[in-house]
Structures are given as structure tokens and as C-alpha cells.
Amino acid sequence: MLDQPDKRSAAAKAAGPALDFQQHLARLEAEGLVVRIDDPIDKDTELHPLVRWQFQGGLPEDKRRAFLFTNVTDGSGRRYDMPVVVGALSASPDIYAIGMGRTVEDIGKAWLDAIAHPIAPVRVQSGACQEVVITGDDLRKPDGGLKALPVPISTPGFDAAPYFTATLCVTRDPESGIQNMGTYRAGLKATDRLGVRMASRIGGAGGYQHWLKHKKLKKPMPVAIVNGCAPVVTFTGPQKLAIDMDEMGVAGALAGEPIRTVKCVTVDLDVPADAELVIEGLIDPELLEPEGPFGESHGYIALEDFNMSMQVTAITHKHKPVFVSLVSQVTPSESSVIKKVAYEPMFLSHLRDHMGVKGIRGVSLHEPLSNVRPVIFLQFAQGAPRTEVWRGIHGASTLRADCGKIVVAVSEDIDPANTDAVWWSIAYRCNPVEDVHVVPHRSSGHGPKSGRRPNDSSLLIDSTLKQPFPPLALPTREYMERARAIWERLGLPALSPQPPWHGYPLGEWADEWDTYARRAVAGEWEQSGKETFARRRGGLTPETPVHQAPKDDD
């Protein structure tokens, strides 16, 4: 949910974004957000499952950490001298915020400002990413090339190969010359070959659009897969910016200065000069290769598809690089946090600032299992006009082709990040025949291909309050807070309150009932009984509401 309180220190914010990944990692360690594992860990069977437990084991967001593995092995007993880090980009919103050099609450505005005012990169003659250069026969040695890198298996038991996941794939439009950077998976096929998947669906990859142009020209497409650069650069990959906008310029605006780039060794592309590792190569413009299976962020295994075949022409890296991997698959995960933190303010800005929707208070993209895209919750001020509620619902459903299959509007007393509260709102504040609309002709979007039809539909629900309601039936805040203080003094188990945890009024309440309540807790309830005895009446049916009963002179 947008607008959550930020936990980062003012000093971390003032430092600004790190422009080198290892500098970023050092900041995380200084904040106590890195778990260092020096025991031998098998990259193919143990590494990702170990990190996965912090997402599947019920840990709260603020307990998630980056995991740095310094003793990486594989099933054959091979030991790698390159450490692997997972979770250092976005295991939690706090980690993402440190990468941005900002508080969580400032991230949305930073993205909007950066997109509006990009700072072009500057090319330098040399960069740390090319301190070691591997080309030619060295790429094809039996244990060399890609095989020498500690690329983990993300979903052991299902994935067909180790996969690059924390990628920044750089391609160039052959017509305009504008570069594009996207986050696409790349699976190992040989010591010098990768299978690369760039989404071809509506709202899909800029790299795929570049491939179509290279296919028309019958020329191989140059590509560079960057691993481990400044977080503000990496974060542009999943942001889905306009295809004619160079993400490097947006990253520069986030950084507050131009991103240093260097020309690749074997292809005509510019990459971040201070990256940990770069894989250069050419993608065949015609021949596609079976790729997969691989666990996807929609929560299912992506089965084998024909996808792009990349011939590696060079591997370059720092003298002592850190390999960066990303947890995706079933959400919550790093990939969902990266999207959620950036997409929520984007949706709110679209509805509030561009569409001018009155009463919109917040946007929450549902994360557990559903991967933030299909389910969106909108929070409106109590009393917002229904016309505005429905404008907001339709606006959220149509902003992106792959987001907003299900959109639910709630009132501001409902925490949209609490799905139990959302279901409560639907159960008691929604009349399905009036408040539920099904809209046809939607793209099937992001999801497993099995059983999917080309056309989908949208489910739109208005579960806001339509009229005043009685108060929520919990003790009011002062009494719950008093009881919690006693709870903690008694040393009872730690609490993790989920809204709603105290009662509050919802418009249907009278001053005299406040008087009754005050008397009740003061032991003076008999006075209220005397007053109600004096108001006895005949000619009524039991359960007639007092405030709806006809007056004596009616």
C-alpha cells in the first residue's frame, strides 16, 4: 500500500543512490540488511530455496534480508570464486529505497520527475566492467565461458537450466538508434549460448520490438546482458517505460548525474561502465530455439517455448565481481516488490493527476500469489461520488494491458493491503447486481499459456460505503491501546495488529449513544436505563430502530 511510514534513517536518505553495486551492498550491510553465508551452498539445489523461505515462511517485510553467499558450489563439487547475492535489489521496500537513495514515500515522485526530466548518459573510455575480457576460444572451453559463472537454478525440480534473472538486457532500435533496457530471463544452453525470452504479448518487451525490426532487416540483433549495476539503473528494466525513451537517461535523473557508460567490446551497444558483469552477443533474427521450462512470476511454471537464441561473443567483468540473482516465481518475491513499489505511485498519479479522479486516496497492487498485476485495490475518501469511484475503477483497469483484470474500490477506513478487510467490505458494502460489472474484450495479458484464451475480461467491483453505517464493533482506540500496554507489561506473545484493530464511527451514530457508552464504562449505566424507561412506547414491532421510529406527533 502506498504511503506507508518509512523506516530508513535520515543519513541513508542523505547519502543518495549508490552508483556502484558493491557500494550499494556495503550500505545494506551497514544497515544490518545483509545475511552473509560462508558455509558451502549448492547454487543449483540450495541457494534459491534458502532465500525463498524468507518469502514463504511468514516473515514480515521488515525482516527480509539480502543473502550474500561467499562459498558457492554445484552438484559436481565445483567451487566458484565469485560470490552470489540474492535479495539485494528488492527483498523489501526498505532495501529498494536504499538502492534509490530515498525514503519509500519519496519513490513515486522520484520516478515521475526522472521520467519527465531525463539526464543523458556520458560515454567514458574504459570501465570496471571490462577489467576482465573473455572472448573467442576461451568462451568455448569445456568449463569456461558461461559455465564458469555461478548462475543459480531458480526453481530446482522444474527449471531446465541455470538462469540469469537480475538482468538488464540492452538492445538498440536499428531505425532510431535509441537503446532500450529490459529485464528478461536468459537460460544457459552452452558455454557460449543463451536462450532469451523477451515478452511478445501486448504491453510486452521493447527488446522484442527491436528484434522484429532486425528480423525484417535479416540482420542479427546485438544484445548485452548486464548483471550487477547501480540499483537506479537496474530498476528501470521492469518499469516498462516508453519504447522510445532511453532508460539510461531516466536512471541518470534518479542518480542526479549522468550514468557513466562504456562501449561493448564486440557489439555496438553502450552499457553501465561500473557494472559487475556483462554478457555480449548476437540474437539470431530468424531461428528460434526451445527455451524453458522456468518458474515465472505469475506463479506457474512457464513451459518450453520457442524463444530467442543468443550467441555469446564476449563476457566481461570486474576483477572481483559479485554475481547478482533475483528471486521471482510465486510472489511475494523480489520481482513483485520491484514492481509494486514503483507501479503503485504510477497508478495513483495517473488517476489523481492525469484523470483528475476526485476522492482517490491510494492504490494497492495485490502481491501475494497474484504478482501485483491482475488485482488492484483502490481506496476512496468516504462520500466520494459514485461517478468518480467508477471513473477510477475503469482508469485503473485500462492503464496497462497487463494490469487490472480485477479492480476493487473500498472506502478509506479499509486498508487495501489487508485482503481480509477487502473481503469484509465486499461482503457488506457491495450489491453485486448494481456494484459488479464484467467488461469483455480484455487482453489475456501476463499468465500461463495453458488454457488461456486470446480474449479475457475485467471484473470491476465498487465496495465503497454508499450511505452512513454503524461503527465498527471493536473497542474504541483508547481502550485497545490501554489493553495493549497491559498485554506487553505481562510479557504475552508479540502482537502484529492488522487494521481494523479498534472500533470507529462510519456515519450512523447519535450523540446520546456516546453518552450511554461513557456512562457504561464509568459504571453509571443505570442512569441510561432510567432515561430509556421513560421513553417506552407501544404500537411498535420489536427491532424497530429508534432513530427510524415515527415521532409521537406523527
**Tens-digit pLDDT profile for residues 29-68:** 999 999 999 999 999 999 999 999 999 888 889 999 999 9
Categorize the per-residue pLDDT at 243 as very low, low, confident or very high, splitting at 50, 70 and 90: confident
Tell me, what's the pLDDT at 202? 63
Average pLDDT of the chain to the nearest whole number:
91
Q: Are strands 436-443 and 455-462 parallel, antiparallel or unpaired?
A: antiparallel
- What CATH topology corresponds to 355-462? UbiD C-terminal domain-like (3.40.1670)
Query: What local confidence, expressed as pLDDT, does residue 59 receive?
Result: 87
**pLDDT at 241 (0 to 100):** 78
Give DSSP secondary structure letters for 456-475: EEEEEEE-S--S-BPPPSS-
Is the CA virtual torsion 433, 435, 440, 445 positive or negative? negative
Span 391-440, pLDDT tens digits: 999 999 999 888 999 999 999 999 998 999 999 999 999 999 999 999 99
Please tell me the predicted confidence (pLDDT) of residue 134: 98
pLDDT of residue 8: 42
Tell me which DSSP letter residue 538 carries. Answer: S
Give the pLDDT confidence score for residue 1 in this predicted structure. 35
Higher-confidence residue: 231 or 60? 231
For residue 103, what pLDDT is reported?
A: 93
Domain residue spans of the chain: 10-325, 355-462, 477-540
The predicted pLDDT at position 370 comes to: 86
Residue type, 207: G
Confidence tier at 14 by pLDDT (50, 70, 90) = low
Going by pLDDT thresholds of 50, 70 and 90, the confidence category of residue 3 is very low
The per-residue pLDDT for range 490-519, each reduced to its tens digit, is 999 998 888 899 999 999 999 999 999 999
Residue 401, Cβ density class (10 Å: 0-12 exposed, 13-18 middle, ≥19 buried): middle
Give pLDDT, residue 222.
98
| Cell numbers 495453458: residue | 450
Least confident of 147-151, 272-276, 456-460: 456-460
Percentage above 90 pLDDT, the chain:
77
Task: Name the CATH superfamily for 10-325.
Answer: Electron Transport, Fmn-binding Protein; Chain A (2.30.110.10)
Whether 478 shows a pLDDT value over 70: the answer reads yes
Measured CA to CA, the distance from residue 519 to residue 351 in angstroms comes to: 46
The H or E element that residue 346 is part of is helix 334-349
